Amino acid sequence: MGDTAPAALERVLQLCTSCLGVERVGVTCQRRRCSWYFPSDPTEQLLPLVRHTKTQYLANGTLHLIPLTDANNVIATLGIWHQGEALPPGVEEVAALVTEELKMRDLIGQMPLQQVKLKDSPVVIVMWEANPALPVCFISDNAQSLLGIDVMAVRAGAARFEDWLDEDDVKAFLRLLNAHARGARQSELDYRLKGQNGKVHWVRQHSVVQYDINGNVTAIYGFLLEQTHRKQLELQIKATRDRLSMVMDASGMGVADWDLAQDQLLMSPQCVAMLGVGREELEPCLHSWQQFIHPADINNVDESLKKHLTGLSADFHCEYRILLHNGEVRWLESHGRVVEFGSDGQPLRMLFMHQDISARKYQEKARERQQSLLNLIHQAQSIFLEEQDLAAACESIFEPLLALAESQFGFISEVHYSEEAKPFMRVKTISDISWDAPSRALYKKHVQNGLEFHNMETLFGQVILTAKAVISNNVRRDPNSGGTPKGHPPLDSFLGLPICYQGELLGLVGLANRSEGYSEDEITFLNPLIDTLGMLMHARLVEKARCEAEAELALLASTDTLTGLLNRRAFIRALNEVIAEHQPYTLVLMDLDHFKQINDTYGHSTGDKVLQHFAQLLRQHAKSTDVLARIGGEEFVWLLEGKDGMANYPLLEALRLAVAQQPFIQDGKAVTLTVSLGSTFLVGADDNGDEALNRADAALYQAKRQGRNCLVAA
């Protein structure tokens, strides 16, 4: 340990080994803490200090330890290794020879420090005595010019060396000197000195200790090198590095250095943290980063990297997802550039900067989804207003809704109630999930009119029965799933959303098979669209009720309330339309014979029932294209389609006979009826219905004059 032995001492040890005929000779100087051996020993182990000759028995021989003395002081230990137990002859002469050689080395090295010319040296030498007070026993003259220290004051003991130290550095400085006094061989320390002119000097001190012949520390040598400029640069670099580190920490950036030749990838702590693992879990190669890239993005990243490495792009830039071991998905943005090339132009080293942009990406995605949702709401409202068709509105948004909800299947349905007030679901908008020919045929057959589902022991049944959203992310094990038919595509997850308006359940939206499952967040996100569908369904119901009310009013305005046939006003309108279109029709005017007598005999209540009885017989004989009306008390009119009047004669005669042959039964008594009929064929010359009615009325009058219960054509 320590200095390399000079050639002279090596030759002495070699000579001793040869003269004594031993295997090995070594010497340790405890004061210098140095050892020399022949043959040489790479470990240069120190031999123990001994006062008397000692013998140690080893497994492969004997070691004799002999003290070397000068003026009765032990200055070194001589070691002799050989196979015998007794000391070989000539040991005393060898010991004397080695002692003289060591003494010569000390004489050469013990030149007074005051005689060393340090005036022009950049190194200041200070020596402290190794006692508890640690006084300075020597300080070189250049300490005054280089460091601004009052050398005379220090030498005279009027000031201590540490008086010139910065207060923050005194404690570390004294701790170092005390460590040397306890035996520490060497050390190094940076500290600040304040000169007489107030200037601050940064000093690097290299310290070594001096030992006496017994191995005790006697003095501490300090070699001081003024390095203010270098230290300032070092501090500036550190400050710059710290600021850069702060910037990177604040920005969340990570740095990676890739050695392409060795495929060695070094990643900063920030970079490792992005991957959600400990550094010990990562191999220092590119694959350790690539293995986290999302399968959907790996090709894009590889292509971008390949383009840069082959010189097709100025730098590498890519946004991609990584998939952590716990299933979490993060977005990274990476920039990179080759910074070192080989002599053949091949890239050797590339630097990367990675940044976690998950928050930004999720915000962008949230904004995009929100905008898409608003577009769907607007689209549904627009189509409903334009076409007044709820099914068309639902159909137009259905596929975009599945994409927005990241779902594989789904449906939009209405909720109806049976005559027994039991709810059921009618679906017109649904994914085509037919799995074979029979199911495909069933789907096509019923989808137009709506598929009906009456079984409420299902997940969507729970939505209907509770009017609350239902989430199931394990459909197969859900007790409410109800199962699926054989061959049906598997359902892994389900979300049912009730469509309500002011608390009334009107329908529901069902979504299935989202890869990440469903959560309350999806319910909150889709609520605006669900509310819109609720308003549209309610508006459709209101519109339907309005149309039905208007139809009912129109029916009341055009219908004879007693018989259900058209009234006079509605009939005249229908007659004029037929005449205006020049359609071939026969107009028949009918009057019940002796109807006043029936009223007088049986009462008006029975008379009303007789009128209803006749109207029923009239319906039985009329075609769907015919027009029937009651235009007076017992006066009826029949507008029949036909090319000429004679073509309808058998039908009119059949009606007359039916009236006569089918009396009205009142309380078990038969009320006999007959009817007189006057008909006319509508001709192209008719300008309006009045002319045709006048002809038919004249024919009816003629039938009455002929004895009633007959048909007369005009």
Q: Where are the domains of the chain?
A: 7-109, 113-232, 252-355, 365-545, 559-713
- Fold equal for 113-232 and 559-713: no
Q: What's the CATH number of domain 113-232, 3.30.450.20, 3.40.50.20, 3.40.50.300, 3.40.50.620?
A: 3.30.450.20
Report d(CA 703, CA 710) in Å as an integer.
6
Which of 90-94, 98-102, 226-230 is predicted least confidently?
98-102
pLDDT of 691 > 50? The answer is yes
Please state the rounded mean pLDDT for residues 384-389.
Answer: 85
Q: pLDDT band at 4, cuts 50/70/90?
A: very low
Residue-wise over 609-641: b if at least 16 C-beta within 10 A, else e?
bbbebbbebbeebbeeebbbbbbeebbbbbbbb
Q: Which CATH class is domain 7-109?
A: alpha beta
559-713, what's its fold? Answer: Alpha-Beta Plaits (3.30.70)
Q: Which residue has the higher pLDDT, 207 or 234?
A: 207
Nearest 5 degrees, angle CA 363-CA 364-CA 368? 115
Residue partners of 447: CB distance under 8 A and separation at least 6:
428, 430
Please give the Cα distance from 34 to 109 (Å, whole number). 15
pLDDT of residue 645: 60
Q: Which residues are tagged catalytic?
A: 634
Does the pLDDT value for residue 688 go beyond 50?
A: yes
pLDDT at 412 over 60: yes
pLDDT at 498: 96
**Contacts for 398 with CB less than 8 Å, ≥ 6 apart:** 410, 412, 429
Burial 16-46 (b: 16+ CB within 10 A, else e): bbebbebebbbbbbbbbbbbbbbeeeeebeb
State the average pLDDT over residues 365-391: 89
How much is the pLDDT for 161?
A: 94
The token pair that represents 9 in the structure block:
């001492």
State the SS3 of 60-76. CEEEEEEEEEECCEEEE
pLDDT at 698 over 80: yes
The closest alpha carbon to 78, from 61, 59, 60, 97, belongs to 97
CB 675 within 8 A of CB 665: no
Q: Residues 536, 518: contact at Cβ < 8 Å?
A: no
Check whether 521 has a pLDDT greater than 50. yes
pLDDT band at 231 (very low <50, low <70, confident <90, very high): confident
Q: Residue 435: pLDDT band by 50, 70, 90 thresholds?
A: low
Pairwise pLDDT comparison (584 vs 239), residue with the higher score = 584
What pLDDT was estimated at residue 115? Answer: 41
Q: Which of 158, 161, 159 is nearest to 139 (CA)?
A: 161
pLDDT at 109: 44
pLDDT tens per residue, range 308-324: 999 999 999 999 999 99
pLDDT value for 18: 83
Mean pLDDT of 603-630: 94
Predicted pLDDT of residue 558: 86
Which string of DSSP letters, residue by residue, matches 565-583? SB-HHHHHHHHHHHHHTT-
State the average pLDDT over residues 503-527: 92
Q: What is the per-residue pLDDT for 375?
A: 93
What pTM was computed for the model? 0.48
Distance of CA 407 to the CA centre of its chain: 16
User: Residue 599, SS3?
Assistant: helix
Predicted local confidence at residue 387, as pLDDT:
84
Average pLDDT, the chain: 87
**CA-CA distance, 627 to 504, in Å (whole number)?**
43
Question: 429-438, 453-462, 661-670: which has the minimum mean pLDDT?
Answer: 429-438
For residue 217, give the DSSP letter: E
- Angstrom distance (rounded) from CA 269 to CA 256: 10
Q: Distances in Å between the alpha carbon of 118 and those of 104, 123, 126, 291, 677?
A: 25, 8, 12, 63, 152
Q: Is residue 214 scored above 80 in pLDDT? A: no
What totals of helices (H) and strands (E) does the chain contain, helices first?
Answer: 19, 28
Mean predicted confidence (pLDDT) in 514-540: 92
Q: What is the mean pLDDT of residues 422-441?
A: 78
Question: What is the pLDDT at residue 113?
Answer: 44
CA distance 377 to 371: 10
Least confident of 236-250, 319-333, 455-469: 236-250
- In terms of C-beta density within 10 A (0-12 exposed, 13-18 middle, 19 or more buried), how is residue 98 classed? buried
Q: What pLDDT is recorded for position 1?
A: 36
714: pLDDT confidence band, cut at 50, 70 and 90? confident
Lowest mean pLDDT segment, chosen from 203-217, 424-438, 535-549: 424-438
State yes or no: pLDDT of 11 exceeds 80: no
CA 562 to chain centre: 71
User: Which fold would CATH assign to domain 252-355?
Assistant: Beta-Lactamase (3.30.450)
Helix (H) or strand (E) holding 549: helix 520-558
Which residue has better confidence, 706 or 248? 706
525: three-class secondary structure by DSSP: helix
Q: What is the pLDDT of residue 111?
A: 41
Mean pLDDT of the region 109-130: 68
The proportion of the chain whose per-residue pLDDT surpasses 90, expressed as a percent, equals 50
Which pLDDT belongs to residue 114? 42
Phi-psi region of 583 (alpha: psi -120 to 50; beta: other; left: phi over 0): beta
Domain 365-545, CATH number (from 3.30.450.40, 3.40.640.10, 3.90.1010.10, 3.10.20.740): 3.30.450.40
What is the pLDDT, as a whole number, of residue 7?
58
Q: Tokens 């259905």 label which residue?
A: 398
Give me the sheet containing 585-592, strands edge to edge: 627-630, 635-641, 585-592, 675-681, 711-713
Calpha distance 271→286 (Å, rounded): 13
Whether omega for the bond prior to residue 479 falls within 30 degrees of 0, making it cis, is no
Q: Output the six-digit token pair for 571.
A: 């009939």
> What is the residue type of 175?
R
**3-state SS assignment for residue 514:** strand
